[in-house]
Structure 1
Amino acid sequence: MKNLFTRRLFASALAAAGLASFAFSATAQQQGWPSKPVRIVVPYGAGSSPDVAARIIAERLSPRLGQPVVVENRPGAGGNNGTGAVAKSPGDGYTYVISTNGPLVYNTVLYKNLPYDPFKELKPVVLAGGQANVCTVRSDSGINDLRGLVDAMKKNPGKFNFSSTGVGSLSHLGIELLKVKTDTYAVHIPYASSPLAILAILQGDVQFACVPAVAVLPQVKAGKLRPLAVSTAKRSALTPDIPTMKEAGLPEIENLAWMAIMAPASTPDDIVRRMNQEINAVLAMPETKEKMHAQYMEPIGGAPQELARFMQQELRTMTPVIKRTGISME
């Protein structure tokens, strides 16, 4: 994961490279695709990072396809509900999902009986974007840095809760790894989206979280939250003042929140190639980059095959991490 994002993250112009190789086949043209609205399912709540990215992409994708691109929120079960629904949908080229680390990779290890197989029932379209998670606490918490949070958890066992965007999400497993590495304990309370996870901190229902920057930074600017660290290996160019976990004294913890657009596995390859071509073009637009950067997200792009390899790499990287935590879901 780290090598891929070192190459691609913060260099999203690569998304436009190789577009000429994705010619739309005569077969799909003869079928008249698309002849009706295209649907992108977001398996999280409104205002979540995938929701924001989906709406930015859909607005610019629609004129390129000549049809409306409708964004539909289907939150629940940490992203499994919406992701699984698309996995079971007909592969007619009109239904897609923009999902994340957990439902697309981690949950295949975390859940004993995941009701869908993202590697068999979904087909990669494009790696849409990524962003750092930001670990944060309330400004009036008395905690000034990540080491201070770890020390507070050790001094007050059983008194810390943390929120996440769902069981199996990076915002969940990243903190589980933090707990293992620092020998600390905190209770996990999952929510349907990053805005709700942040609201839980503001209301005092939990003491901290590590969630996407788009949900954290507005509250930091408002003086209500204090950022402690970003989860990536290097400081983000979009949040240059926030230290990495390594800089905060935790060198073995690095992760990044990513989102990918997937289609039902039976979707024709020529339609997937067309969608990949058009979304890559959208991601390369200056206005897309500007809007995503404003939400602390970086567009990525690339070929379907690259996304497939990346997901397998994520599976190899995170499987031992998940097993080390001892977490298992029914």
Structure 2
Amino acid sequence: MHRRHCLRWIACCAIPLLASSARAEDWPKGPVRVIVPYAAGSTPDLLARLVSERLATRLGKPMVVDNKQGAAGNLGTDAIAKAAPDGQTIGVSIAGPLAVNALLFKKMPYDPAKDLEPVTIAATQPAVLIVSNKIAASNLADLLGLLKKNPKKYSFSSMGAGTVSHLGMEALASRADADLVHVPYSGSGFAVTAVISGEVDMALLPAATVMPQMKAGKVKGLAIASAQRSASLPDLPTLAESGVADVQADAWIGFVVPARTPAEITKRLHSELVQILAEPAIREKLRLAYMDPVANSPAEFRSVLAADLARWKPVIQKHNITLD
């Protein structure tokens, strides 16, 4: 009797393990929905489509990109969080809706820490500090000198209140004890156009947006807000190299899945993404879009989220920034 019960217990334990393994091997069962909480043509959208094309080939199932923009990225990210946790829906999102928005909104439709499972940060795009050609600054030291001399004279554009382009400039301005006028726009294209026209004096914007304008001589690029130099922008120094060590505003893009997605499926998705991001053709396409591949682990992804919250919370509190 004891032997029979023991065998039955072993069999019961083995069944979920086998079923779990089967889920990973059988995934995906059909078309996979890839939700992007930003508009078609945005950087997250471009990366999602580039990687999804390769995922479809490797997995043998269609990948359908679904753009659901709105509410500073919360609308689409909420759709990811509330999707069935079966691996048939994955998401591509950024720092705002995955972390920082929780500091900007009094009430969120989802809990980023509980309702989403990080898979990997696919790539990061350095934010470039640019200034109008009318500003007499050719490097960061020049600019900081101007700000200290006239702390209330200058202005900057951003991709919207509460975005990293906004928070990063506020953090940088505080290093010079400057009170800059913030002019938010509805996207990076409008924000860089404002610098070109001289409507505002400076901005901290994604490289893909500003590099064509820099190459055309329409704006001046002074530095990037990354921890280290970017392989896609090797000639631009970091803010740290230029004398400001603690301001980072990388525009990273990560893959997430709904919480409670089977661990085996998440593990396989991570493996597929890491292999895709290691492909020379993919890396070259990312470089041309001024993005650097990352492909870190879920644990490392969580550490980045925690660091972003710690970095931006005092900036948000100091300037009383809210999106409600």
**Coarse TM-score class (shorter-chain normalised):** 0.7 to 0.9
- Of 92-101 and 202-211, more deviation after overlay is shown by 202-211
Query: Whole-Å Cα distance in 1 between the matches of residues 72 and 141 of structure 2?
Result: 28
Query: Whole-Å Cα distance in 1 between the matches of residues 296 and 33 of structure 2?
Result: 21
Identical-residue share of aligned pairs (%): 43
Give 1:65 deviation, angstroms. 1.6
Identify which of 102, 106, 114 aligns with 2:96: 102
Q: What's 2:21 paired with?
A: 26
Identify which of 299, 304, 312 aligns with 2:298: 304
TM norm structure 1: 0.82
Query: Whole-Å Cα distance in 1 between the matches of residues 227 and 301 of structure 2?
Result: 21
* Cα distance change, pair 257–174 in 1 and its aligned pair in 2 (3 A): same
Query: Whole-Å Cα distance in 1 between the matches of residues 198 and 53 of structure 2?
Result: 36
Give 1:290 deviation, angstroms. 0.8
Contact 2:222 2:236 in 1 (8 A): yes
Give 1:177 deviation, angstroms. 0.8
CA offsets 1:68-91 (integer angstroms, 9 cap, x no match): 222232233332222223222332
Query: Whole-Å Cα distance in 1 between the matches of residues 204 and 184 of structure 2?
Result: 12
Task: Note if 1:115 corresponds to 2:79.
Answer: no
Amino acid at match of 1:48: S
Amino acid at match of 1:209: A
* Cα distance change, pair 234–29 in 1 and its aligned pair in 2 (3 A): closer
Contact 1:45 1:192 in 2 (8 A): no
Partner of 2:91, secondary structure, is: strand
Matches within 5 A, 1:153-302: 153=147, 160-302=154-296
Give 1:192 deviation, angstroms. 4.1
Query: Whole-Å Cα distance in 1 between the matches of residues 35 and 183 of structure 2?
Result: 24
- Of 150-159 and 127-136, more deviation after overlay is shown by 150-159
Query: Whole-Å Cα distance in 1 between the matches of residues 160 and 78 of structure 2?
Result: 15
Matches within 5 A, 1:38-77: 38-77=32-71
Query: Whole-Å Cα distance in 1 between the matches of residues 318 and 282 of structure 2?
Result: 39
Q: What's 1:130 paired with?
A: 124
Query: Whole-Å Cα distance in 2 between the matches of residues 159 and 48 of structure 1?
Result: 32
Give 1:204 deviation, angstroms. 4.2
Q: Look at both structures and tell me which one has the larger radius of gyration over its CA atoms.
A: 2
Q: What's 2:10 paired with?
A: none
Query: Whole-Å Cα distance in 2 between the matches of residues 307 and 59 of structure 1?
Result: 23
* Cα distance change, pair 193–294 in 1 and its aligned pair in 2 (3 A): same
* Cα distance change, pair 140–316 in 1 and its aligned pair in 2 (3 A): closer
Give 1:199 deviation, angstroms. 3.0
* Cα distance change, pair 246–307 in 1 and its aligned pair in 2 (3 A): closer
Partner of 2:50, secondary structure, is: helix
- Of 228-237 and 287-296, more deviation after overlay is shown by 228-237
Contact 1:219 1:225 in 2 (8 A): yes
TM norm structure 2: 0.84
Aligned residues: 306
Give 1:205 deviation, angstroms. 4.2
Partner of 2:302, secondary structure, is: helix
- Of 86-95 and 113-122, more deviation after overlay is shown by 86-95
Query: Whole-Å Cα distance in 1 between the matches of residues 316 and 239 of structure 2?
Result: 19
* Cα distance change, pair 296–197 in 1 and its aligned pair in 2 (3 A): same
- Name structure 2 gaps, 5 residues minimum: 1-18
Amino acid at match of 2:23: A
